């Protein structure tokens, strides 16, 4: 049997070892929890810029990107033609499916040449990179043709159109607010013309 002093030293060593192990474990746990919290906050931050229905960027993302990129982009505002009537006839479930499909078509059409946003309801926006060689009228017509292709949703065949307005810095305005106003005005002019063409 060892001396009391040696026994006390071994006990103290064991105690300190346990304390060290506990400290390392606690530090690791806190670090892990902090990391998970950062990941969660980052995920929530990303989700705050994504439209929950369609999965594309939302108005908040548009406001952020437009302020930063309006000088280097062509701004488009789009509104679906006849969406309210489809919602009223077939219900919101079909309406939601339609918005999802339109978002997919727009995103596929734009590809990596710009970004598509759902601003709310059946309103969308596009920020198209200016470095792309684009004839605006041809672009708008091609977008209309793609969106106008018949859709089959839950055994219901849907036909929808889209009205689009645009603006370009600095021709149509020097500040974002003016560019938005011009694009919005042209969109409603296009919508008015579409309604007149389709009157029975």
Residue 65 annotated in active site: no
**Could you give the count of Cα atoms lying within 13 Å of 98 in the half-sphere of its Cβ?**
30
Q: Which of 51, 65, 79, 122 is catalytic?
A: 122
Cis peptide leading into residue 167 (ω within 30°): no
Q: Measuring CA to CA, which residue among 37, 154, 33 is closest to residue 91?
A: 154
Positive or negative torsion for Cα 87, 93, 97, 103: positive
CA distance 76 to 83: 19
By annotation, the residues acting in catalysis are 122
């Amino acid at each position: 049997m060892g001396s009391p002093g040696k026994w006390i030293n071994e006990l103290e060593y064991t105690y300190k070892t346990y304390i060290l192990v506990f400290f390392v474990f606690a530090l690791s746990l806190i670090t892990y929890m902090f990391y998970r919290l950062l990941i969660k906050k980052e995920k929530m931050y990303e989700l705050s810029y994504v439209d929950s229905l369609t999965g594309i960027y939302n108005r908040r993302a548009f406001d952020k990107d437009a302020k930063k990129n309006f000088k280097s982009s062509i701004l488009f505002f789009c509104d679906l033609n006849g969406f309210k009537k489809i919602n009223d006839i077939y219900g919101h479930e079909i309406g939601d499916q339609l918005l999802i499909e339109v978002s997919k078509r727009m995103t596929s059409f734009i590809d990596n040449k710009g970004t598509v946003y759902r601003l709310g309801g059946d309103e969308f926006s596009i920020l198209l990179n200016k470095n792309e060689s684009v004839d605006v009228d041809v672009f708008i017509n091609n977008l209309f043709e793609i969106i106008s292709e018949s859709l089959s949703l839950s055994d219901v065949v849907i036909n929808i159109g889209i009205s689009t307005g645009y603006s370009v810095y600095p021709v149509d305005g020097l500040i974002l607010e003016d560019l938005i106003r011009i694009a919005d005005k042209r969109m409603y002019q296009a919508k008015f013309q579409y309604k007149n063409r389709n009157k029975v």
